[in-house]
Amino acid sequence: MKIAIYPGTFDPITYGHIDVLERAMEIFDKVIIAVARNSAKQPLFSDDERVEMIHEVVKKYGKNVAVDGFDGLLVEYAASKRAVAIVRGLRAVSDFEYEFQMALTNRKLAKKLMTVFLMPHEKYTYLNSSLVREIAMHGGDVRDFVPPSVARRLRKKAKELS
Ligand code: COA
């Protein structure tokens, strides 16, 4: 069984991430969405909230998709899950340098673990989680960017923080 890890902060998960996930599901038998707990970012949603939100969104895919939180090095987490690949989305040239550096560093740390880049649909190339958070925190409509359950949680968070 070919297992891939799709890691990220997912603060929150967007339609762009889901697009990448669906493409990864075409290639791998199982995709584990790995939510980084030790992200250098200061997430709006807690670790548990991010995992829960993703669960709600991906449960329709059944057993081929799992959601988990992880600490520490990604390559070690991937080895613990017997994954053969890391999946990352590549949206625009601006993503390349950072992704290139991460992929080569991870390869140095774990030779056999492949990093696979997948391009989301071009309609998502401009999308990222920061923009979605910003729009939501200012009371804007994010329904074109995130699934309804995520939009609801963003609205609730905006109310709590206002
Ligand atoms: N659609 C929409 N947005 C997307 C996207 C897509 N397909 N792909 C990426 N993004 C956005 C994210 O929303 C995020 O936006 P933001 O910065 O505005 O929040 C941004 O691109 C990048 O985030 P993400 O893909 O979640 O990755 P990340 O950079 O937050 O995560 C880790 C990086 C967690 C994978 C990396 O830090 C890691 O592996 N950490 C573990 C420790 C480790 O092993 N370090 C050594 C690594 S070499």
Percent of the chain with pLDDT over 70: 99
What mean pLDDT comes out for the span 38-46? Answer: 86
Q: What is the pLDDT of residues 68-79, one digit of tens each?
A: 999 999 999 999
CATH number of 3-125, picked from 3.90.950.10, 3.30.565.10, 3.40.50.10420, 3.40.50.620: 3.40.50.620
| Secondary structure element (H or E) that encloses residue 149, with its range | helix 148-161
| Secondary structure element (H or E) that encloses residue 4, with its range | strand 3-8
**Would the CB of 17 count as within 6 Å of ligand 1?**
yes
pTM of this prediction? 0.95
Please say if the pLDDT value at position 155 is more than 90.
yes
**Which pLDDT value is given to residue 38?**
72
**Which pLDDT value is given to residue 162?**
83
Q: What is the pLDDT of residues 82-130, one digit of tens each?
A: 999 999 999 988 889 999 999 999 999 999 999 999 999 999 999 999 9
Catalytic pick among 17, 88, 133, 153: 17
Question: Pairing state of beta strands 85-89 and 30-36?
Answer: unpaired
Ligand 1 centre from 89 Cα, in Å? Answer: 9
Closest residue to atom 38 of ligand 1, CA basis: 74
Q: Could you report how far apart the first and last alpha carbons of the chain are, in Å?
A: 47
Mean pLDDT, the chain, whole residue set:
96
State the pLDDT confidence band at 39, using cuts at 50, 70 and 90.
low
